[in-house]
Structures are given as structure tokens and as C-alpha cells.
Amino acid sequence: MVDFAVRPIGFVRSPFVEKVEAPRQAVAEGAEGIAGRVELLPEHEHALSDLEGFDRIWLLFWFHEANGSRSKVLPPRSDRKRGVFATRSPHRPNPIGMSAVRLERVDGLVLHVRDLDLIDGTPVIDIKPYIPYADAFPDAKSGWVGAATDPRASWAVTFTPEAETQLAWLAAEGLVLDLRARIQEALALGPQPHPYRRIKKTDDGGLLLAVKEWRARFSVDLERSSMQVEALRSGFRTRELAGTDPLLALHRAFVARFG
């Protein structure tokens, strides 16, 4: 067996700090236009010559936060496990990913890009131009995914007056996270319990979505393909909130206000 040494040629600068924040396919999840940069190392300056004429580029990158390899994984759009080579999962024998981003401009060693779906600090291991006649096959079969085009979200998501009041309170208290948008994005794909979307059943038969440190209880109307967010709560237990950690101040205030 031959081992290969792979070294980063640069790093992604992105608004997504954590894995759960990044869309899994920017265009498919309505995240078109998300801007970021690829900052290349100085020794690759001349390798960027002639790249600016391309509308899109492929970024080959290393899933640096992937936690080991798995033979089968559960994709977000599947109801059962699939062979990892039939998915885009980061949990691969060699955790290499690829993303087709829109190239805005080249500024020295910095590539300004859009339609970004990578987290901040992602190591880039190669860049290739996107060539439509060679890279696009619109009539190709999509295997277990089914549709030739990515299935857009089909579930409607609404909020009860209680949930609306809680969201408004959190925003007024300075919560930076767009909790409403994150809840809608996660639930729009469906209500099935799923570890990628962090949906699970509660002991009393309800459904709970986790978005970072917050939890959203929701109900499902199968006939209308819709879901309603009933209420929010903190993801921290009472004993965890009993301390004086300033990072939990908002959660303590939320519990004091809404129980």
C-alpha cells in the first residue's frame, strides 16, 4: 500500500463557524449567494494565472472535522443507511470533499467566491475550473436520490403564538443566531427523526428539534405536509444553568421568563 502526502494550498474563510451552520449543498438548500474567500498560500500565486475567466470553480477540500470513516451512513435525504461511496458524507476513508462555487474575482492570493457551503478554516487541497460541457450531465440518473434535480423542501413550517413570542424575545435579548431560519431549514426536509437534522422523539411521543443549544418542540400534520413549532426551550439542564457561567446568562433568563 502506498501512502500519499496531501498538503493544503489554502484555507476557506466563511461565515459558517460550526458544521451545523453550513448548508449541505448551497444551491439545493437555498443558500445561493453566501459569500466567502479562499486564501491561498504564497507559493501558489502564479498557479492562479488565467483562473479569473471561469464563472465557477471546483474546490477540493479536506473534511478536517470529520470523525472517522464509516462504510454506511445515513444521509439527510434518506430514510435508511447508504454505502458511503453512494453519498457525499464526510465520513470517508479519505475525507475529501468537493464543492462547485461561483468565482467572483481573484485578488492576489485571495479568491472571492459565492454559493459557499464550507465551514471557516476548511483546508483546500486543490482548485479546478468548472467546465460546463465536461462537468454537467443534466440527464444522468441520480440513483437512490431519485430526482434528476435536487428535491426542494416540500414541508411547510409555521409557529404558534407562543413560539413567535419566544423568538421575538430572544431576538430582542441579543441572540445572534437566526433561530427561526435554522428551524425552518431543518424541518422543511421532513419530520422524521434523523441524527443529521437532530430530530428525535421525546418520552411522551412528541418531536424535538435541536438547533445548537436550543430545542424546538413541534407537531406534524401529515395530510397537509406541514409542521407547527409549538414552543422553544433551552437545551441545558437545570443543574447546568445553576452555575454562574456568563455564556449561559441568556438561557437562564429564558427559563426564568418562559419556564
Distances (CA, A) of 35 to 11, 25, 104, 253: 14, 14, 9, 34
Averaged pLDDT score across all residues of the chain: 88
Least confident stretch, 33-47, 142-156, 236-250: 142-156
CATH topology of domain 10-145: Elongation Factor Tu (Ef-tu); domain 3 (2.40.30)
Q: Is the pLDDT of residue 55 over 90?
A: yes
Residue 173: its pLDDT value, please?
A: 93
Predicted local distance difference test score (pLDDT) of residue 26:
55
DSSP notation for 17-73: -SGGGS-SSTTTTT-TT--EEEEE-GGGTGGGTTGGG-SEEEEEEE-TT-----SEE
What is the grid cell recorded at 97? 470533499
Q: What is the pLDDT of residues 63-113, one digit of tens each?
A: 999 888 999 988 877 778 899 999 988 999 999 999 999 999 999 999 999
Portions of the chain given CATH number 2.40.30.70:
10-145
DSSP reduced 3-state for 238 = helix
pLDDT on residue 108: 95
Q: Is the pLDDT of residue 206 over 80?
A: yes
pLDDT in tens, 14-30: 988 877 677 766 555 55
Asked if residues 167 and 180 have their Cβ atoms less than 8 Å apart, the reply is yes
Tell me where in the chain the CATH 3.30.2310.20 domain(s) lie: 156-258
The pLDDT of residue 244: 81
The answer to whether the predicted template modeling score (pTM) of the entire model surpasses 0.75 is no
Which residue has better confidence, 152 or 207? 207
C-alpha cell at 53: 475567466
Q: What is the pLDDT of residue 158?
A: 95
Q: What is the pLDDT of residue 145?
A: 78
Mean pLDDT across the stretch 41-55? Answer: 95
pLDDT of residue 51: 96
- Whether 12 and 38 have beta carbons less than 8 Å apart is answered as yes
Q: What is the mean pLDDT of residues 110-128?
A: 95
Cα–Cα separations (whole angstroms), residue 191 to 185, 223, 227: 12, 13, 8
C-alpha cell of 70? 464509516
Rounded Cα distance between 144 and 78, Å, is: 8
The mean per-residue pLDDT over the stretch 136-152 comes to 72
- C-alpha cell read off for 180: 427561526
Please state, in angstroms and rounded to a whole number, the distance separating the CA atoms of residues 252 and 242: 8
Architecture of domain 156-258 in CATH?
2-Layer Sandwich (3.30)
pLDDT at 203: 85
Kindly state the average pLDDT of the residues 208-217. 93
